[in-house]
Amino acid sequence: MDFLKSMAIAASGLRAQTGRMQVIAENVANADSTAQRPGGDPYRRKIPTFMSEVDRAIGATTVGLGKVRQDPTDFRTKYEPGHPAADQNGYVKYPNVNSVIELNDMREAQRSYEANLNVIGATRRMIQRTIDLLRA
């Protein structure tokens, strides 16, 4: 049934946004994760990518989480000579995670999730109204 197909497609969107949310959670949680040895590299921010997939079982194009890439931008540095991860000049490398950007990504993931939920809800209401025809 085509209605069930559109529900399955929207569900793939929900799953993709769930995966994106997981990556964002990793970034936010690791915003202060430094290296464990002096001068080492800290946590590097991850970027989720989406790609369209052809689902042969339902014969439609769904969305899936692609490879999770690493953000190549520079790390933040702070002057903290007493820190265990400080290099010989006293600078500590902190992850290239910007909490404002993560917050916006999170908001976007939330909105996309809600959009997919609305698609499922609308589909369901359409099915419901069609079934109601039988009850008249």
Rg of the chain over all Cα atoms, to the nearest angstrom: 22
Residues 91-120 that bind another protein (CB under 8 A): 120
Cα–Cα–Cα angle for 80, 81, 82, nearest 5°?
A: 95
Structural tokens at position 27: 């970034």
The CA distance from 35 to 108, in Å, is 30
The CA distance from 28 to 117, in Å, is 25
Check binding of 135 to another protein (CB under 8 A).
Answer: yes
Q: Minimal CA–CA distance to 45: which of 110, 104, 91, 99?
A: 99
Figure out which of the listed residues 54, 57, 100, 134 binds another protein, where binding follows CB under 8 A. 134
Figure out which of the listed residues 36, 88, 89, 128 binds another protein, where binding follows CB under 8 A. 128
Closer residue to another protein (CB): 15 or 83: 15
Residues 6-25 that bind another protein (CB under 8 A): 7-8, 11, 14-15, 18
- Stretch binding another protein (CB under 8 A), from 42-50, 52-60, 94-102, 127-135: 127-135
Q: Which residues bind another protein (CB under 8 A)?
A: 3-4, 7-8, 11, 14-15, 18, 120, 124, 127-128, 131, 134-135
